[in-house]
């Protein structure tokens, strides 16, 4: 203070005024910060990010008119993207169910096959699997026909020559099915052992036990991550483009590449594709959240029950295990 007083220039009164303002602004910031709800602050962060993106967008001088003109063409790919993803997820669910039952089976054949399946399809890249199914499968048909022309006629060999979209869907289903096998297995194993024992003790067959007791409870655990996998798969459908799908039924990414290259507007085309994928994901994330909360609704009193059962264990003390 003394130093400031000694210096010539702004008087002590001016300094006091400035520091008063600074303090007032500081206090206002602190107060507003405290009063503003978390969600509003998050929204502000998003607005800031979008402003920044808009700035980059603006200085990049994109051809907005081109984007508008070609939006419909690229957006037509949505339906094929959805077809591929839906086909893929359905196949993946079936495979994951079978795979999970195999992983928990005491049958060596079922266990062996599911083990190989999970190992191979989790152990190799999706894009490699796509090419293998698209390119190697026809070769297998040709080889078999060459070696055993009677057993394996040409017509059968031709069946192994797949359309790119079909090969891509197969690969997606096989690949995601391998990952989801683990989800399904964990879901089934999350069902308390006592549930299966109770079903056994009531004289249910294995099939009845699974269908009526174990799986309905496992699905509560399985459904939310399966929705997640579907959302992930929506975007991996873009890989199918590398197999060179026919223009007529190309999905989003393939279409964006086609028009982008044709008009030398690659970045614009990619932006449109990105926006479409993002929009699609936002829509399905919304549905997935709803599904998730719906699925957990039946167990609302879960926390009470957990408390009750831990209490019970404390009471039961010596009872459990090999008692």
Partner 1 sequence: MTSRPDEAEDTPVAERDVVIRVDGVHKRFGRLEVVKGVDLDLHKGEVVVVFGRSGSGKSTLLRCINFLEDPTEGTIEAAGVRLSGGYRTRRKREQIRQLRLRVGMVFQQFNLFPHMTALENVRAAPICAGIADNRTHAMDLLEQVGLADKADEHPIRLSGGQQQRVAIARALAMQPDAMLFDEPTSALDPELIGEVLAVMKALATELHMPMIVVTHEMGFAREVADRALFFHEGVVWEEGRPAEVFGSPQRPETKKFLDAVL
* Residue at token pair 């096989």: 174
The residue among 8 and 203 lying less far from partner 1, judged by its C-beta, is 203
Give min distance, CB of 287 to partner 1, in A.
Answer: 23
Give min distance, CB of 292 to partner 1, in A.
Answer: 17
The residue among 132 and 204 lying less far from partner 1, judged by its C-beta, is 204
Closest CA to 215 of 92, 97, 96, 104: 97
Q: Which two tokens stand for residue 233?
A: 């798969």
Give min distance, CB of 201 to partner 1, in A.
Answer: 4
The residue among 13 and 317 lying less far from partner 1, judged by its C-beta, is 317
Q: Which two tokens stand for residue 145?
A: 């026909």
Rounded CA-CA distance 272/65 in Å is: 12
Give min distance, CB of 308 to partner 1, in A.
Answer: 7
The residue among 7 and 315 lying less far from partner 1, judged by its C-beta, is 315
Give min distance, CB of 255 to partner 1, in A.
Answer: 45
* Residue at token pair 């579907």: 230
Give min distance, CB of 224 to partner 1, in A.
Answer: 17
The residue among 125 and 316 lying less far from partner 1, judged by its C-beta, is 316
Q: Which two tokens stand for residue 290?
A: 């709803």
Q: What are phi and psi of 220, to 5 degrees?
A: -60, -35
Rounded CA-CA distance 299/297 in Å is: 5
User: Which residues make up the interface to partner 1 (CB under 8 A)?
Assistant: 192, 194-195, 197-205, 208, 212-213, 216-217, 298-302, 304-305, 308-309, 311-313, 315-323
Rounded CA-CA distance 86/80 in Å is: 10
Alpha helices (H) in the chain, listed in sequence order? 2-6, 12-35, 38-60, 64-75, 77-103, 108-123, 126-131, 137-147, 154-159, 164-189, 193-201, 206-208, 215-236, 252-263, 266-295, 302-316
The residue among 163 and 197 lying less far from partner 1, judged by its C-beta, is 197
């Amino acid at each position: 203070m003394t130093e400031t007083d000694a210096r010539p220039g702004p008087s002590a009164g001016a300094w006091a005024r400035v520091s008063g303002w600074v303090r007032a602004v500081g206090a206002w910031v602190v107060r507003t910060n405290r009063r503003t709800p978390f969600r509003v602050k998050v929204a502000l962060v998003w607005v800031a990010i979008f402003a920044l993106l808009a700035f980059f967008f603006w200085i990049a001088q994109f051809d907005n008119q081109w984007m508008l003109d070609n939006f419909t063409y690229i957006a037509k790919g949505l339906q094929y993207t959805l077809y591929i993803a839906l086909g893929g997820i359905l196949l993946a669910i079936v495979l994951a169910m079978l795979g999970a039952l195999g992983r928990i089976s005491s049958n060596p054949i079922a266990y062996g096959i599911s083990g190989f399946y999970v190992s191979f399809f989790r152990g190799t890249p999706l894009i490699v699997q796509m090419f293998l199914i698209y390119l190697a499968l026809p070769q297998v048909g040709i080889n078999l026909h060459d070696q055993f022309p009677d057993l394996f006629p040409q017509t059968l060999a031709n069946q192994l020559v797949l359309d790119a979209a079909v090969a891509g869907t197969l690969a997606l289903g096989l690949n995601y099915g391998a990952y989801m096998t683990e989800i399904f297995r964990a879901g089934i194993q999350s069902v308390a052992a006592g549930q299966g024992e109770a079903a056994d003790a009531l004289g249910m067959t294995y099939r009845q036990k699974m269908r009526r007791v174990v799986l309905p409870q496992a699905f509560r655990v399985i459904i939310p991550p399966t929705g997640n996998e579907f959302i992930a798969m929506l975007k991996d459908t873009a890989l199918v483009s590398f197999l060179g799908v026919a223009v007529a039924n190309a999905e989003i990414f393939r279409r964006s590449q086609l028009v982008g290259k044709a008009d030398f507007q690659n970045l614009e085309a990619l932006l449109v594709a990105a926006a479409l994928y993002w929009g699609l994901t936002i829509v399905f994330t919304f549905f997935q959240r709803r599904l998730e909360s719906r699925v957990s609704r039946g167990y609302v009193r879960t926390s009470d029950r957990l408390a009750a059962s831990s209490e019970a264990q404390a009471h039961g003390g010596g009872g459990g295990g090999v008692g």
